[in-house]
Structure 1
Amino acid sequence: MINVDNKEGACGFISQIAPSIYPARLIRIDEDTGQPIRDENGLCVCVKPGETGEFVGKITADPTRAFDGYANEEATKKKIIRDVFRKGDCAFASGDLLTMDLFGYIYFKDRCGDTFRWKGENISTTELEAVISETVQLADCIVYGVEVPGCEGKAGMAAILDNDHTVDVNDLLRKLRQKVPIFSIPVFIRLVEQLELTSTHKLPKVTYRKQGFDPQLVKDPLYFFDSKHSIYIPLDQQLYNQIVEYKIRI
């Protein structure tokens, strides 16, 4: 993908005159599972202008479009989608969520799966969960990205189990600064008394991601990382309004 004519904010372009000949497309994926959404014929569905989809590249015999895979075979399988545009074909799933305008310009939106993008960096939720859990004495923890108006990508947020009310968020911050880069430190923290598992025994990351950091939706204690003073402060409705109205820069 290349922004050949320096369109502001775009990271590439797909011609809308004959998009099928281009080796890359945006396909719809299920928000909860991350799997491609398919039509009645079992093929992937391309997004329409204004929609968000995963960026995929066709894999063909052409050496410039080949995909040799990773050293880990299981990781390779996860990156290959089959029966994409016609039966028998395959494509490389980038893990990047992009959106396209009416003219075909492509804009970065987010990362899908177990990573999210913040400050130009890809952050692994599972790695950060492990660090936080170890730091707060093996308490369950969920890390996910939340949308913040005016910000590209998603800000990191951590929901930490604190049923005995012993988690000191600023002590956690001090220790995290010694273990992870500054861009990986969660912008928001939510202390919960209970983390209910889903029917498949997974933590409810999708539910928490949708609730975001709005105090009107979240009744648990919320904290905001004030990077200017390097401290977590309680997140109330007034502070929330200042964040979403761009009065406070993250």
Structure 2
Amino acid sequence: MYKWLSAAAAAVLLLHALQRLFFPYFWKDVFFLWKIVTYGVKLELSQRTCGVVTVVDRFVEQARRVPDKPFIVYEGAVHTYRDVDRRSDRVARVFLRRGTPRRGDVVALLMDNEPDFVCVWFGLAKLGCAVAFLNTNIKSRSLLHCFNCCGAKTLVVGADLMACLDDILPSLREDNIDVWVMKRDIGGDTQVHTLLDQMDCVLDQPVPASLRAATSLKSPIMYIFTSGTTGLPKAAVITHLQTLKAAAGFWAFGGKADDVVYIPLPLYHSAASMIGIGGTLQLGATCILKKKFSASKFWSDCRKYDVTIFQYIGELCRYLCNQPKAEGERVHKVRMGVGNGLRPDVWRDFHARFGEVRMCELYGSTEGNLCFMNHIGKLGVVGRSNFFYKLLFKYDLVKYDMVREEPVKDEHGFCQRVKKGETGLLLSKVSATSPFFGYAGSKQLTERRLLRNVFISGDAYFNTGDLMAEDQEDFICFKDRVGDTFRWKGENVATTEVAETLGLVAFIQEANVYGVEIPGHEGRAGMAAVIVRPGHEFDGKELFEHIVRDLPAYARPVFIRIQEFIEITGTFKQQKFKLVQSGFNPSTISEPLYFVDYLQHTYVPLTDNVYQKILAGEQKL
């Protein structure tokens, strides 16, 4: 018996050693995937037995279960689950009494981060309305476009953002769009309705639950605008299924009800709204909502509110690392960060300076049908795959021609998979289990994001537009973004929209916009190669005034390159690859270069001295 037990123990130890040697992440993979699969199964079973349980249903449930627990803390003021529930009921009652919007209508929301953003969002959702989150940085032309593509006939705007409507309010009224502002009084302006005074006149009693009842997980409930290759913002269709999946993000990474979540990102982004707010209420936790991110106040806030989880984008963490060192900056209760775009060098610096906070990197676009999560916590990767994951979620990395800006095809016209460790374009198969819901307003926009007949005739894949690599251990790394979109200061910049805006300048004949890398900065800074119209001269001051007026800060070109002609490809597309590769070094580029100078309010010549200051991080961008 003793020999048998000894042999069994030896066998177990041997198997354990082999598992650690050849499959070191096996049990972590199995446990994480088990959580994800069981969550999905529960959603499906719930839909078939009890009906669709939405994120708002979950919020109402939490408001009944823990009514007095803080849900949102904003500028020191505590808003409990009961407070937000009742205030959202008042919002719903105002519109219910007026008779519009009705169940199934789309309402646009233009608000900065504040508790009433959530109250209005949930109040409209309780009426069965879909809510379209508008980027507070967009200007008049883009703003009008957003209404057209999502079909919104009602707009709720924050009190501090009314000035954004000055140029387009007559157009909104002509289109019979009702405008509501979060104020009690707006003087003699009869073009808009005030919402706060109306909320004072209604009860905070719940509206009938039947109004918000959903019949399918795949019903649209939100629209979130994302930049793309078409130039103007696109309204990504967000279904109940997508919001429920996003709301499980914190939980999947190990979040608990007693966590305190710090949300410094804008709520019009899916990260802050769907993952941040949705994830907080899914746990029954508390969130600290910030109007704007402040690097200087971040750690003091974390200590003040006992923050345990924070949301980030890579640029946010870089700002924190660039702050002057302060005493006690490692004294905090933060145990986890959840976000995306964290560069390996910033990741290392962050850990070395602020402690071993578990950074939970994830990957997934707002409209995409695929998500990677770095549940292992390995530095520098966006996620991890494995044999089981690939059975459930079909994706591939294919060879991509950077010059022609298209996938490489074989002799039969099909895409070619890259080998392990090689960089390729990430494609995700569209299927019943991984649907792609596309964009509102145009089937053409949706179709452009799909690649058909990829490996066999009739198949369809979502084109992420991202170049990735998968190593021998199945860890997935982000490499670059292709196409006409690049990322700067945490925002997607659509090069076509910027080029069209530059084309409205009197002396610019044509503009080719792209992004260039700057050492020490996340993403790519905007650069435009332009042709000056015959008989005109480049005017840096006029260009500066134009871009400040018509473009959000993150989309304004940092550099201008004057060219006599713009190269095009064989299919008449502007050639960007060589321009991107050549960068912005004045010592290697013979053509005139300019740099945006916010102190002088103009574009100034990019000299070697300015160039060296940019590389050294001494020149503010």
Q: Which TM-score applies when normalising by structure 2?
A: 0.36
Distance 1:139 1:48, change over 3 A: same
1:225 to 596, 599, 602: 596
Question: Which residue pairs with 2:521 in the alignment?
Answer: 151
Structure-2 residue corresponding to 1:118: 488
Paired AA for residue 474 in structure 2: G
Please tell me the residue identity of whatever aligns with 2:513. Answer: V
CA contact under 8 A between 1:111 and 1:122: conserved in structure 2? no
Helix, strand or coil at the partner of 1:44? coil
Q: Is the 8 A contact 1:4 1:12 kept in 2?
A: yes
Within 5 A, what are the aligned runs for 1:17-166?
A: 20-21=390-391, 22-40=393-411, 42-48=413-419, 51-60=422-431, 62=432, 64-70=433-439, 71-137=441-507, 139-162=509-532, 164=535, 166=537
RMSD value over aligned CA atoms? 3.0
- The C-alpha deviation readout for 1:161-205, integer Å capped at 9, x for no partner, is 125462222331122111111000111111223335555544433
Aligned to 1:175: 546
Change (3 A) 1:205 1:149: same
CA drift of 1:156 comes to 0.9
Determine helix, strand or coil for the equivalent of 1:129.
helix
C-alpha contact 1:55 1:98 (8 A) present in aligned 2: yes
Note the 1:191-206 alignment, pairs <5 A.
191-195=562-566, 200-206=571-577
Which has the larger helix fraction? 2
1:236 CA displacement:
2.6
**Residue 190 of structure 1 aligns with which residue?**
561
The separation in 1 between residues aligned to 2:465 and 2:473, in whole angstroms, is: 23
For residues 190-227 of structure 1, the C-alpha deviation after alignment (integer angstroms, 9 at most, x for no partner) is 12233355555444333323322122332111122345
Asked if the contact 2:409/2:416 (under 8 Å) is kept, the reply is: yes
Q: Any conservation in 2 of the 1:110–1:153 contact (CA below 8 Å)?
A: no
Which AA in structure 1 matches 2:436? F
Shift of 1:36: 1.4
Deviation at residue 118 of structure 1 after TM alignment:
1.4
What is the identity, as a one-letter code, of the residue corresponding to 2:488? W
Instruction: Give 1:83 deviation, angstroms.
Output: 3.4
Which is bigger in relative contact order (C-alpha 8 A, separation at least 6)? Answer: 1
Please report how far the alpha carbon of residue 138 of structure 1 lies from its aligned counterpart in structure 2 after TM superposition.
5.1
Structure 2: which 5+ runs fail to align? 1-371
Relative to structure 1, is the Cα distance of residues 99 and 248 closer, same or farther in structure 2, using a 3 angstrom cutoff? farther
Q: Tell me the secondary structure at the aligned position of residue 603 of structure 2.
A: strand
Structure 1, residues 97-135: CA drift from partner, whole Å, max 9, x if none?
334444333343443222112122111111111111102
Decide whether aligned partners of structure 1 residues 27 and 150 sit closer, same or farther in structure 2, where only a CA change above 3 A counts. Answer: farther
Q: CA deviation at 1:244?
A: 4.1
Give yes or no for contact 2:404–2:569 (8 Å, CA) kept in 1: no
Question: Tell me, which stretches of 5 or more residues in structure 1 are unaligned?
Answer: none
For 1:27 and 1:201, the matched residues in 2 are separated by 24
Change (3 A) 1:47 1:239: farther
**Counterpart AA for 2:406:** Q
Please give the alpha-carbon distance, in whole angstroms, between the structure 2 residues aligned to 1:69 and 1:188: 33
CA distance in 1, matches of 2:598, 2:570: 38
Which of 234, 239, 242 aligns to 2:610? It is 239
The verdict on how the C-alpha distance between 1:53 and 1:245 changes in structure 2, with shifts beyond 3 A counting, is: farther
Q: Write the distance in 1 (CA, Å) between the matches of 2:454 and 2:567.
A: 35
User: How far apart, CA to CA, are the structure 2 residues paired with 1:40 and 1:196?
Assistant: 28
Measure, in 2, the Cα distance between the counterparts of 1:219 and 1:127.
Answer: 27
> Aligned residue for 2:142?
none
The whole-number CA distance in structure 2 between the counterparts of 1:43 and 1:101 is 24
For 2:415 and 2:584, the matched residues in 1 are separated by 33
Q: Give, as a single letter, the amino acid of the residue that structure 1 aligns with 2:559.
A: F
Which secondary structure does the structure 2 equivalent of 1:4 belong to?
coil
Q: Which has the larger radius of gyration?
A: 2
Classify 1:196/1:67 alpha carbon distance in 2 versus 1 (closer, same or farther; 3 Å): closer
**Mean Cα deviation higher: 181-190 or 67-76:** 67-76
User: Taking structure 1 as reference, are residues 42 and 208 closer, same or farther at Cα in structure 2, changes over 3 Å only?
Assistant: same
Provide the identity percentage: 38
Does the 8 A contact of 2:451 with 2:463 survive in 1?
yes
Distance in 1, Cα, partners of 2:380 & 2:590:
36
CA offsets 1:130-149 (integer angstroms, 9 cap, x no match): 11110234521111112233
